[in-house]
Amino acid sequence: MLKESGSNSLFTFENLESNVRSYARTFPVVFRKAVGAILEDENGFEFVDFLSGAGVLNYGHNDPDFINDAMQYFKKNGIIHGLDMATSAKREFMEYFDAIILRPRGLTFKFQFPGPTGANAVEAALKLARKVTGRHSIISFTNGFHGVSLGALAVTGNRYYRDAAGLPPVGAVFMPYDGYWGVDNDTTQYLERMLADASSGVDLPAAIILETVQGEGGINAASKRWLQSIQQLCRKNGILLIVDDIQAGCGRTGSFFSFEFADLSPDIIVLSKSLSGSGLPLSLLLLKPELDVWRPGEHNGTFRGNNLALVTGTAALQKYWTNEKLSESVTKTGRILSERLRQVAQSSPDHGLSVRGRGMMLGLDCGTGKLAGRIVRKAFEDGLVVERCGAEDQVIKLLPPLTIDGQALQRGLDILDNSVHASAESDRGYDA
Ligand SMILES: *Cc1c(COP(=O)(O)O)cnc(C)c1O
């Protein structure tokens, strides 16, 4: 038909799709299929996927068991859309989630299915916290990312996104995250003082919202001690603790919830990204039963509880969360990954690269966005899809599927290693 729309041609995207597209620019090919940790473009060129849909594909692309359950569900004319009507698929998901995830951890929560995106769930969490406490303000942290709809944007730190709001993103106060002033400075002391001082100018908030490992903000991992202090401050001041586990949850750091290592007991937990297992959109709020002050339909939405996504979400729980195998493998693979990244960093000493993160949520801090950009572009040319994060896009974010096999993992790491060295070399060339 159109001559321009041949294999891998971006003509149609450049011509018809809005400027707002972003990943299509970073990875300028046309992808046509994917299995596990391998993406394939229209020329049949393969890429190792260390992006995993920004944390959506923890179990890799097109898991055959999830696909099979979805196909069966289609074939038996299962309910695809039912607003928030009671369906067999939703009942099964809630029962499994309660039995496999919540009860073994001694947790009791009610389920709220908002619209299907992460931002939808964050909006609902903030609204509920305000309704429960009668307070208006929310405390969020430097480099926090919680979505780009207006309410979620108000608790998101990044100026690039905030400047695009068109309205002032109001209702939040930002406090320094763990490590913001160096490892020796406990930033909860500052927060404690601001809350205790009736003249600090900081209103008592309805909630504190945080990520235990900041994803978009640069792979900053909070310590157990810091998280515990935040929880204590919440309890002391009647503030609700919201853990945004959209990116760090669903096994990414090893345990199902990212806060388990810190023994936190959040009042509200927000999940999305990998919750459906298959990449289908689904989000969920878990709220302590006493917080369930909603009146029927008070917070609604057309696409609440995507039934097909619930079917694949149940399949993911059954396949990966009825035993410890996945958790153990994440810890093991995470160690291999971080060890190799440390070697890469050390073998390029002029550039002061450093590694951080938890489990299989790791970052290679390159110091500048320029160097990180060069490495990521070179890696893509060689067959690795990986993105950047952090205030200056200076951190390479590694989120391979948790289920990646040893061979694909090595292939991806070899490409990255090679790209770091090639880019560091050319960096030296530029500076000379
Ligand atoms: C991706 C993300 C969101 C927003 O989810 P969307 O589906 O993009 O709206 C919120 N919080 C965190 C931690 C995220 O990683």
Cβ atoms within 10 A of the Cβ of 153, count?
23
Which residues, 6 or more positions from 14, have their beta carbon under 8 angstroms from its beta carbon?
none
- What pLDDT sits at residue 432? 35
- Ligand 1 centroid – CA 130 distance (Å): 20
Q: Which of the following CATH numbers is that of domain 11-60+327-431: 1.10.540.10, 3.40.50.880, 1.10.486.10, 3.90.1150.10?
A: 3.90.1150.10
Identify the residue whose C-alpha is closest to ligand 1 atom 5.
Answer: 118
Using the Cα atoms of residue 151, residue 155, residue 160 and residue 162 in order, give the sign of their dihedral: positive
Architecture of domain 78-320: 3-Layer(aba) Sandwich (3.40)
Which amino acid is residue 82, in one-letter code?
A: G
- What pLDDT sits at residue 431? 44
Give yes or no on whether 11-60+327-431 and 78-320 have one common fold: no
Q: Write the DSSP string, 301-368.
A: -SS-S-HHHHHHHHHHHHHHSSSSHHHHHHHHHHHHHHHHHHHHHHTSGGGT-EEEEETTEEEEE-SS
Q: Of all atoms in ligand 1, which is nearest to the CA of residue 214?
A: 13
Distance CA 34, CA 114 (A): 29
In the chain, where the domains are located = 11-60+327-431, 78-320
- Ligand 1 centroid – CA 143 distance (Å): 13
- What pLDDT sits at residue 89? 98
Asked whether 233 and 195 are in contact (CB, 8 A), the reply is yes
pLDDT in tens, 94-153: 999 999 999 999 999 999 999 999 999 999 999 999 999 999 999 999 999 999 999 999
Which amino acid is residue 22, in one-letter code?
A: S
Which residues, 6 or more positions from 410, have their beta carbon under 8 angstroms from its beta carbon?
none
Distance CA 80, CA 306 (A): 7
- Ligand 1 centroid – CA 314 distance (Å): 21
- Asked whether the whole model's pTM tops 0.85, one would answer yes
Q: Of all atoms in ligand 1, which is nearest to the CA of residue 122?
A: 10
The first and second tokens of residue 348, run together, are 């390029």
Give the binding-site residues of ligand 1, using a 6 Å CB cut-off.
117-119, 122, 145-147, 211, 215-216, 244, 246-247, 272
- What pLDDT sits at residue 2? 53
How would you write the pLDDT of the chain (432 residues) with one tens digit per residue? 555 568 999 999 999 999 999 999 999 999 999 999 999 999 999 999 999 999 999 999 999 999 999 999 999 999 999 999 999 999 999 999 999 999 999 999 999 999 999 999 999 999 999 999 999 999 999 999 999 999 999 999 999 999 999 999 999 999 999 999 998 999 999 999 999 999 999 999 999 999 999 999 999 999 999 999 999 999 999 999 999 999 999 999 999 999 999 999 999 999 999 999 999 999 999 999 999 999 999 999 999 999 999 999 999 999 999 999 999 999 999 999 999 999 999 998 888 999 999 999 999 999 999 999 999 999 999 999 999 999 999 999 999 999 999 999 999 999 999 999 999 777 665 543
- What pLDDT sits at residue 429? 54
